[in-house]
A and B are shown apart, each in its own frame.
Chain A
């Protein structure tokens, strides 16, 4: 399909594809096996200016947005989505600063994030607060010119490796959902520590750890926006980053499809390549069609996110939901096309199938995405009927 990318977008896509092919693919299986954070690849991405693509020019970026970031995430995910999410999670940590940071905060943090010198992370989830973010128990108490944070965040991508954390904490319990706030916490701050790296089903190169805050004292200048905005910051951030999860899903699916098509041409059974069997052909055709539909939806949502139109929650949720469900299905079918070989670690599709699952879970499970979409539908209808 032709998406009429600008010359610059084409350049970004080709560069990300080249790095994925030359530098990521050869080490993807090893990174998965060793569950190792891909530092070397992060520095290659940094030198290639790929952390700059979604950052405005005034903060050292190249002035693109969600769409450009999605192009990079998609290409990297074709080779290894553990790498892709480590890259993308820096964006997840940075969007709150871009969206709600003061000029001073943006100038302080964004140039290093854009250059890739420092990675960012976003810490919302806790042991008892997953889908129900209003259940978070981490607190931030004002003390003179500081806030003192206490609590434990769980399953935070890039935790330990990132240097800049946006943490959502309760500042006023009596206000419920309006009682939480977003803070910037830098690695090295006394009272900030990390749990051990979690052992996961997929995206095993990416690091997932607890973020532990014990009397962690930060200056009040590190509050993002104002008190009470915590969940708004989180939701508006997800609106910007869910198309990126969609792009991750599209990339994994495309990677798996590419392997499956090539394999089907070469594998001979009953004296003919298995691609000559209609049973296999129809699987490949469905995989390709679904992947392309997911890509079209992701690109549209990403462009909407960059356009500045009003509410994009529904579009962002649809892109994430559809692409991740497609990704799961396509990767399962890719393993099927490769048969027993697909089940073996010598071939990349079993990893892609393991990696696919997370896209249906994080940044809001697909059930939560459906709730968001339904809620928006009802709201829109109500607004129309009022007119």
Chain B
């Protein structure tokens, strides 16, 4: 079984700040880390690899520094890392990103399953997983909270919903995106970290994956960011105290006042 995990390098969300004047995310002086949701994708791929004697390739599109997150993935236990990097890819929105990743996946040999994190912590669109599936013309399921069963050409997964979960069967190869309920990502061991330090991460450019430059990067990205702003907070939360009955009475009084 060959599993591809798509991972992204993002600015550490815990250090995120916005420039009030330009409305842009401040990237200087902010650590770059692996997108937290992708850790669950990596962990799931490693569990499948261990249970089914497979191999895992981590794939990332980004600047040369994205090699770091691929090395993190190698430290956790993936077999190979591939970096899509070059000027052509810069400024890509989700459409151009899914296109490029799909071409890279097609360069890899006999891929059975592609796992992505639910969304990236910087863009928060959750579009690349489904976009990748569309480009590859393969089925996909988003927000998977459990893989129930997997065999050569099909799998059964549980998809998290607001009210519970759905059980879905899909044929392989397929794309899934996973939520954090699916597992607890491992902490890489020392031997993995040492292996990662020595690992060679090949960098593929647009030409190598046979991409149409018009569909890549800024040129291939119809999305335009109109304006970004910090939401202003309205009002304040209030905790109601007391027994459930007392709280219900308090709540009713507050609501009635507003009617």
Give residues in A with beta carbon < 8 Å to B.
Answer: 8, 11-12, 15, 18-19, 22-23, 44, 47-50, 52-53, 62
Contact = CB atoms under 8 A, between A and B. Distances in A.
Contacts of A48: 187-190
5 contacts: A11-B190, A19-B187, A48-B187, A50-B190, A62-B191
B193 interface: yes
B190 A47 contact: no
Contacts of A19: 187
Contacts of B191: 49, 52, 62
A18 B187 contact: yes
A22 B193 CA distance: 18
Nearest to A47: B189
Contacts, number: 32
B186 interface: yes
Contacts of B190: 11-12, 15, 48-50, 52-53, 62
Nearest to B184: A23
Contacts of B193: 11, 15
A47 B189 CA distance: 6
A17 B187 CA distance: 12
Nearest to B191: A49
A19 B186 CA distance: 10
Interface in B159-201: 186-194
Contacts of B186: 47
Nearest to A50: B190
Contacts of A49: 189-192
A44 B185 CA distance: 12
Contacts of B188: 15, 48
A375 B186 CA distance: 49
Nearest to A23: B187
A11 B7 CA distance: 23
Interface in B187-240: 187-194
Of B189, B190, B191, B194, most buried by chain A (CB within 10 Å of CB) is: B190
A103 B187 CA distance: 33
A18 B188 CA distance: 11
Nearest to B193: A11
B205 to A, nearest CB: 31
A11 B192 CA distance: 11
B189 A22 contact: no
A18 B75 CA distance: 15
A22 B189 CA distance: 15
Contacts of A22: 187
Contacts of A8: 194
A114 to B, nearest CB: 11
Contacts of A15: 187-190, 193
A212 B27 CA distance: 62
A52 B186 CA distance: 18
B226 to A, nearest CB: 39
